[in-house]
Amino acid sequence: MVTMFDLFQQKVSNLRHYDGTASEYEKQPIETGKILFYGSSGFTRWSEKYHRRPLEEDIRMKDGSPAAVNHGIGGGTMEEGLYYYDRLVKPWAPRAIVLRFYPNDITTGYSPMEIMYLISLFCNRARADFPGVKLYLCDAMPHKRFMENALWKKCAKQYNQLLYNYCQLNEDCTYVGQSTWPGFYTNPEDAGDYSKIRTDIWIEDEVHFTQEGYDIYRDLFLHALDDIL
């Protein structure tokens, strides 16, 4: 029988590309029992380094106490997220994980099915290491750059459906609908239509947020994580 593993081919040429990033996180004090945000540059740039109010300030418990740790891997794929799991996830023993990949995976050549396969491997490792962990899985983020890219949008919709189905089958998983968050659209009724996202909340590269964009992003996650904050 042919399995997904038989069909899978690694697309990342150098899995150690983010060793420097990992080393910087490892210099920080390990805070266990927090909500770990783990993903690509949308998380990485949610920090003072990029002149944004940090994620750790935006995502707090309802009593104002610290809730989150940000381990963004700017430019990273889910394959690289798995590679750095033992360094950037396991030592922090999180009570919940917010996982956000996809854009770099697609541009690197991974199919929606392959990304979903890698996410399932990640989730299984987290379940084994942290019994009872809650997993918040983010769908394909809208980006101004890809508004008119038909292939990108087709793959995003396929990925979103695969991710949704996975979350429906696994009660420890929550589907986080970035693509359907009304704040990203001028007209709330357009939520989910990648071609109708707001164009005024992106910096020049049309991929990353202005501070206003991150204010909207904060509200999305405060809503998604409401049951554990």
Q: What is the pLDDT of residues 5-19, one digit of tens each?
A: 555 678 888 889 999
The verdict on residue 23 lying in a domain is: no
The two tokens of residue 171 are 């009660």
Q: How far apart are CA 87 and CA 92, in angstroms?
A: 9
Sheet holding 68-72, edge to edge: 68-72, 35-39, 96-100, 134-138, 173-176
The verdict on residue 9 lying in a domain is: no
The verdict on residue 188 lying in a domain is: yes
The verdict on residue 145 lying in a domain is: yes
Q: How far apart are CA 160 and CA 142, in angstroms?
A: 12
pLDDT of residue 6: 52
Question: Which residues have a Cβ under 8 Å from the Cβ of 39 and sit 6 or more positions away?
Answer: 72, 73, 76, 81, 98, 99, 100, 101, 138
Q: What is the pLDDT of residues 158-212, one digit of tens each?
A: 999 999 999 999 999 999 999 999 999 999 899 999 999 999 999 999 999 999 9
3-state secondary structure of 39: strand
Residue-level length of the chain = 229
The verdict on residue 164 lying in a domain is: yes
User: What is the residue range of 214's domain?
Assistant: 28-228
Mean pLDDT of 78-104: 97
Predicted structure pTM score: 0.95
The verdict on residue 54 lying in a domain is: yes
State the CATH number of the domain containing residue 89. 3.40.50.1110
Q: What is the mean pLDDT of the chain?
A: 94
Q: Domain count of the chain?
A: 1
The verdict on residue 88 lying in a domain is: yes
The verdict on residue 15 lying in a domain is: no
